Amino acid sequence: MTHTAFDPASVPETWWAAVVRGFTDVHTTAVPLPVLLAIVAGATLLSIPSATWRWFGLYVTFVHELGHAYAALMTGRFVHSLRIGLDHSGRLVSSGRSAFGAAWSGFWGYPAPAVVGLALIAAFSAGRSGAAMSIGALILLVSLVFLRNLTGILVAVVSAATAQSLILFAPPEAVNYVVLALGIALTVGGVRDLLKLAGVHTRRRDRIQASDAWILGRTTGVPSFVWMTGFTLVIAGCAAVSAGLLWGMLGIAAL
């Protein structure tokens, strides 16, 4: 019996081949109704009970801050640092000359989880979960350069390691299920964070200075309720489209 020696030098090549394969392969998974309902319930439970939200909420915060970061990069701003706190707080520091760039970056924090959630659910529906996972894996690796505190680094490393492991070792069906569950959980998490923000503006105004809407109002002169309305429209729209896609899956599964 012969054994093939492990070659560490082949790992990057194998990983990159798996990433590229994610963009080219199309895999659809027929999800039985009980399984789909279980995925929806399990994903929702990540974002509702305090015990699970304590940890999954850190990932939602990470996505929130990445929304700020990549929106900043879209307008040519320079991202200096990204920090995440154990209390689900986050802070992105970027610089640039454009006032529009600062407002654009400031807006895309709260909507980011719902937007990413919709993208993942849509990718699953189209059989392109592999592409979604490959894109996510690359974004998470790039995002490591922004992190400047231990909590943020740990969240990013765990997220990136999970994504890379799924790309390398998980069968397409497993990737499909993970992408679907994560998409639902992020959507629910985005709605939860929006409701929490609304509570800050109505009942907990002692915390309002940490609100993105309040900060945008102060820096742009546009009232914070306008920014809140924008957050709500984007998040509600993403949630509605995601729900429509899931309803379509339920109809297909029931046939």
* pLDDT tier, 251 (very low <50, low <70, confident <90, very high otherwise): low
Which whole number is the average pLDDT over 137-159? 92
Those residues with Cβ within 8 angstroms of residue 45's Cβ, 6 or more apart along the chain or in another chain: 52
Instruction: Give tens-digit pLDDT for 17-31.
Output: 988 999 998 998 888
In this predicted structure, the answer to whether residue 63 has a pLDDT above a threshold of 60 is yes
Instruction: State residue 252's pLDDT score.
Output: 58
> Nearest Cα to 137, choosing from 165, 104, 103, 176?
165
Instruction: State residue 3's pLDDT score.
Output: 46
Rounded CA-CA distance 82/38 in Å is 35
Percent of the chain with pLDDT over 90: 75
Instruction: Give tens-digit pLDDT for 190-230.
Output: 999 999 999 999 888 778 888 999 999 999 999 999 999 99
Those residues with Cβ within 8 angstroms of residue 99's Cβ, 6 or more apart along the chain or in another chain: 220
pTM: 0.92
Which whole number is the average pLDDT over 133-147? 92
In this predicted structure, the answer to whether residue 1 has a pLDDT above a threshold of 60 is no
Rounded CA-CA distance 171/194 in Å is 35
> Nearest Cα to 197, choosing from 119, 126, 114?
114
Of 30 and 234, which is predicted with more confidence? 234
In this predicted structure, the answer to whether residue 254 has a pLDDT above a threshold of 60 is no
In this predicted structure, the answer to whether residue 255 has a pLDDT above a threshold of 60 is no
**Strand, coil or helix: 38:** helix
Rounded CA-CA distance 130/172 in Å is 7
* pLDDT tier, 2 (very low <50, low <70, confident <90, very high otherwise): very low
